[in-house]
Amino acid sequence: MAQVTRNDVIYDLGSGDGRILITAAARYGARGVGFEIDPPLVTHSRRRIEAAGLEDRVEIREQDIRSVDFSPASIITLYLFPEANLVLETALKRQLKPGSKIVSHYFGMGDWSPHQVEQVTDSAGVLRSIYLWHMEDQPRWARK
C-alpha cells in the first residue's frame, strides 16, 4: 500500500520480530528502523536481521516509541491500540514531512481521514483492515 522503494526509510513502531522491516529491506531495498521495548523481541529480531544478512539496511532499537524522532522516516508502520496511535498524533503531525506515509494494521487514527483502506484475510482466516495515510492529504493538520 505504501509503495515502498529503495529510497524509503521505514520506522516500525512496536516492531516485534522485525518481519515488516526485513521484508521491506529484502524485497524493496528500503532501510528500516524498528522500535521495540520488549528485550526478548529486540534480541529475536536482531538475530533474524543478522540471519537475513540485512544488518546494513535494518536496525532495531530498544526504545519507547513516545521518545522517537520521526523526522528521518518516509514511512511509519504501526500495529498499536487506538489510544497509543493517538498519543503519537502530535509528534507525527509535527515531525513527518509532506510525502510521508503512515500504515496502520487494524486500528485507525481517531478522526484522521485515510487515503486508502484495504481489507485482507490473514493466514488464520481473520479479516483485517489496513489503513494508509498520506501526510499531504491532511490539510487541517497544522505543522507547528
Q: What is the CATH number of the domain that holds 53?
A: 3.40.50.150
Q: Report the candidate in 70, 88, 79, 69 with the shortest Cα–Cα distance to residue 20.
A: 79
DSSP class of 97 = P
Phi, psi dihedral angles at 94 (to 5 degrees): -75, -35
Residue with cell 529480531: 45
- Is residue 46 situated within a structural domain? yes
- Is residue 144 situated within a structural domain? no
Phi, psi dihedral angles at 100 (to 5 degrees): -70, 155
- Is residue 69 situated within a structural domain? yes
Phi, psi dihedral angles at 6 (to 5 degrees): -70, -15
- Is residue 36 situated within a structural domain? yes
Q: In the prediction, which pLDDT does 56 show?
A: 98
Give the predicted TM-score (pTM) of the model: 0.90
- Is residue 75 situated within a structural domain? yes
- Is residue 118 situated within a structural domain? yes
Mean pLDDT by 10 residues, the chain (144 residues): 96 96 98 97 98 98 96 95 86 92 86 90 91 74 44
Q: In the prediction, which pLDDT does 135 show?
A: 85
Into how many domains does the chain fold? Answer: 1
87-117 burial, b at 16+ Cβ within 10 Å, e below that, comes to ebeebbbebbeeebbbbbeebbbeebebbee
Whole domain around residue 19: which residue ranges? 9-137
